[in-house]
Structure 1
Amino acid sequence: MAASASAGSRHFKIFAAADGFGEPLKDAVVAHLRAHPSVADVVDLGVDKYYAAAAAVARGVSSSAPDPALESRGVVVCGTGAGVTIFANKYPGVYATHCSSAADAAAFAIADAWLATPFRAPCPASGDAPWPEDIQKFLDAAPVREPVDIMPGGEMRIVRESPTSAYVRFKAGSVEPAHHHTFGHDLVVIKGKKKVWNLTKKESYGLVDGDFLFTPAGDVHRVKYLEDTEFFIRWDGHWDIFLDEDLETARNAIDAELGVVDSEK
């Protein structure tokens, strides 16, 4: 994966991670990259579940401070390459792809060619023609995360509309007041910890990395983020939100609820 290439001298900071299946190859590639003359730094983020490994590397690439002399790139190794690519591409400024042929198994040769190839280099898929301007315009207009004004501490990046898919982040301690939507939604936690109260069903759910939750259309629900949390969410139709209480009421209700739970431990 890569962020946009700089115009300066080509030196690289590499973020790397893997799942359990990809650990041996990741370790070999990291050792090779650390010896490469164009690589200034390799940040080995270790081994985790495939989606968490992809998210960790993508966060590193996406959040690196712009530096004309140091280009940030990332490597994620897993059993297939498909899942990590999907998760990594949810981050702004990250464009991930995976190996798709037997020849791609020459990992060291790939790493060397990758470092030598500018971000906008021609490729066989386009007849070795320069990068088309319409593609660049699309990338320049790619959606970015926007603050969720009615819910402090949250930000959302919509990647598709109606049905709507979005990547969402909330800071630890943030609260979603009781609310409902016109459409039901599926949610997968990428990283973090949150608690959801479905007030319509009078049920609550604790969610951590990899957990899934479906909330039906119209169900009123309230949320507390116990850690910095990232998740992917998909609505069956367009995104909308209708608040059923204010933020102060929600915080008081959650404090009372968590206080009852703590006193029972």
Structure 2
Amino acid sequence: MANTTASAAASADTRPRKIIAGADGFGAELKDALISHLQSLNIEVEDLGTSDYYSVGAEVGRRVSAAESDSGTRGLVACGTGVGVGIFANKFPGVFAATCLTAADALNARSINNCNVLAVSGMSTSKDSAVEILNAWLDTPFKAPCPASNSKPWEDNLSCFLDNSMKEMPKIGKEESKFDSSCSICCLVKNRELNPIDMIPGGSMKIVRESPTSAIVRFKAGSVEPAHHHTFGHDLVVMEGRKSVWNLSKGEKFDLGVGDYLFTPAGDVHRVKYYEDTEFFIKWDGHWDMFFDEDLETAKSEIDKGSA
């Protein structure tokens, strides 16, 4: 009995405190079954529901990426094959998503790759098998004995390799800054020609630094940015014009003019209206991205109704 109790305590320590879950139509039923199992283990679940595999995979990845590394937050995604959702979850820094079709896959993914987003197949995995996969993934710490290590502790040289991989892997894919940030002269931008923002009519932008992203942005009077959010928070300073920002996540409105500053936290959904030709400088805490939470016509309608 004492060994059983100790094993249960060890599992509880290994398990994440929160799981962010989502699926497409082919994985929804399996996702719901796994959420029920997670809840039976007293693990907090944030269910993002059902959407296209690329949208829900990206959203789970974004939220896991934005979570603090020590917050105990992981992700669970499901689609027909388990592959598509994993591909798009992996587009975010610090996300290591793996498609697991067996419990052995999950053991290896946790031990070798420190997998923090589990992707499962709604078409080829039964609910009972998926629960076994999920349990293995929940209870296996990084570098634990696994099938790939013949169920033995990793040898010292391989253990060091795995430790180093956690430092090296996040660097892959990051664009090196084109400028020496220690030299202010190298960061001067003389060309103020801006490029249109295809996804938002009336907007144009010039990226002046790649990582973290900084940019000069202009919008024509009357332009509207539909409700959207970013992986990273951003600071902005208005240099010309006038705009309003509605932070829908916090229920706040900010009216900004020349010289005004605003910080919007990562993940906060916000909508923007430009009353004059407006130019502002914006700096994200990481790379620039944009995820829409409504279409343009809905945004305009909400602003016109005064319920923005």
Give me the TM-score of the superposition, normalised by structure 1: 0.51
Q: Does 1:31 align with 2:58?
A: no
Separation in structure 1 between the aligned mates of residue 144 and residue 201 of structure 2, nearest angstrom: 45
Compare CA radii of gyration and give the structure with the larger one: 2
> Per the alignment, do residues 196 and 139 of structure 1 end up closer, same or farther by CA in structure 2, a change over 3 Å counting?
farther
Q: 2:20 aligns with which of 10, 15, 19?
A: 15
> Per the alignment, do residues 77 and 255 of structure 1 end up closer, same or farther by CA in structure 2, a change over 3 Å counting?
same
Separation in structure 1 between the aligned mates of residue 49 and residue 135 of structure 2, nearest angstrom: 21
For residue 19 of structure 2, give the secondary structure of its aligned residue in structure 1. strand
For residue 97 of structure 1, give the secondary structure of its aligned residue in structure 2. strand
CA RMSD of aligned residues (A): 4.6
**Conservation of the 8 A alpha-carbon contact between 2:94 and 2:170:** no
**Conservation of the 8 A alpha-carbon contact between 2:83 and 2:99:** yes
Residue 161 (structure 2) aligns with = 134
> Per the alignment, do residues 26 and 92 of structure 1 end up closer, same or farther by CA in structure 2, a change over 3 Å counting?
same
Cα offset, 1:196, TM superposition: 7.5
Q: 1:109 aligns with which of 132, 139, 147?
A: 132
Q: Matches of residues 222-237 of structure 1 in structure 2 within 5 Å? A: 226-228=226-228
Separation in structure 1 between the aligned mates of residue 170 and residue 241 of structure 2, nearest angstrom: 30
Residue 146 (structure 2) aligns with = 123
Which amino acid letter does the alignment assign opposite residue 96 of structure 1? A
Residue 60 (structure 1) aligns with = 63
Separation in structure 2 between the aligned mates of residue 21 and residue 132 of structure 1, nearest angstrom: 38
Q: 1:159 aligns with which of 169, 173, 178?
A: 173
Unaligned runs of 5+ in 2: 1-11, 103-120, 177-191, 206-216, 232-237, 244-273, 279-299, 301-308
Cα offset, 1:48, TM superposition: 1.5
**Conservation of the 8 A alpha-carbon contact between 1:78 and 1:84:** yes
For residue 30 of structure 2, give the secondary structure of its aligned residue in structure 1. helix
Unaligned runs of 5+ in 1: 1-7, 145-157, 163-176, 181-186, 200-220, 232-246
Q: 1:41 aligns with which of 44, 54, 61?
A: 44
Residue 194 (structure 1) aligns with = 200
Q: Matches of residues 168-247 of structure 1 in structure 2 within 5 Å? A: 178-179=193-194, 194-195=200-201, 226-228=226-228
For residue 159 of structure 1, give the secondary structure of its aligned residue in structure 2. coil
Cα offset, 1:62, TM superposition: 2.6
Separation in structure 2 between the aligned mates of residue 64 and residue 94 of structure 1, nearest angstrom: 10
Which amino acid letter does the alignment assign opposite residue 140 of structure 1? K
**Conservation of the 8 A alpha-carbon contact between 2:67 and 2:73:** yes
Residue 205 (structure 1) aligns with = none
Separation in structure 2 between the aligned mates of residue 41 and residue 127 of structure 1, nearest angstrom: 33
> Per the alignment, do residues 11 and 112 of structure 1 end up closer, same or farther by CA in structure 2, a change over 3 Å counting?
closer
**Conservation of the 8 A alpha-carbon contact between 1:104 and 1:110:** no
Residue 98 (structure 1) aligns with = 99
> Per the alignment, do residues 100 and 108 of structure 1 end up closer, same or farther by CA in structure 2, a change over 3 Å counting?
closer
**Conservation of the 8 A alpha-carbon contact between 1:195 and 1:226:** no
Separation in structure 2 between the aligned mates of residue 250 and residue 120 of structure 1, nearest angstrom: 55
Separation in structure 2 between the aligned mates of residue 139 and residue 71 of structure 1, nearest angstrom: 17
Separation in structure 2 between the aligned mates of residue 87 and residue 10 of structure 1, nearest angstrom: 26
> Per the alignment, do residues 20 and 132 of structure 1 end up closer, same or farther by CA in structure 2, a change over 3 Å counting?
same
> Per the alignment, do residues 250 and 55 of structure 1 end up closer, same or farther by CA in structure 2, a change over 3 Å counting?
farther
Deviations 1:170-208 (A, max 9, x none): xxxxxxx7447xxxxxx9x9xxx6348799xxxxxxxxx
Cα offset, 1:100, TM superposition: 4.1
Percent of residue pairs identical: 37
Q: When you count helix as a share of all residues, which structure comes out higher?
A: 2
**Conservation of the 8 A alpha-carbon contact between 1:222 and 1:250:** no
The count of residues paired between Structure 1 and Structure 2 equals 182
**Conservation of the 8 A alpha-carbon contact between 1:51 and 1:87:** yes
Give me the TM-score of the superposition, normalised by structure 2: 0.45
**Conservation of the 8 A alpha-carbon contact between 1:178 and 1:250:** no
Separation in structure 2 between the aligned mates of residue 138 and residue 195 of structure 1, nearest angstrom: 43
> Per the alignment, do residues 198 and 61 of structure 1 end up closer, same or farther by CA in structure 2, a change over 3 Å counting?
closer
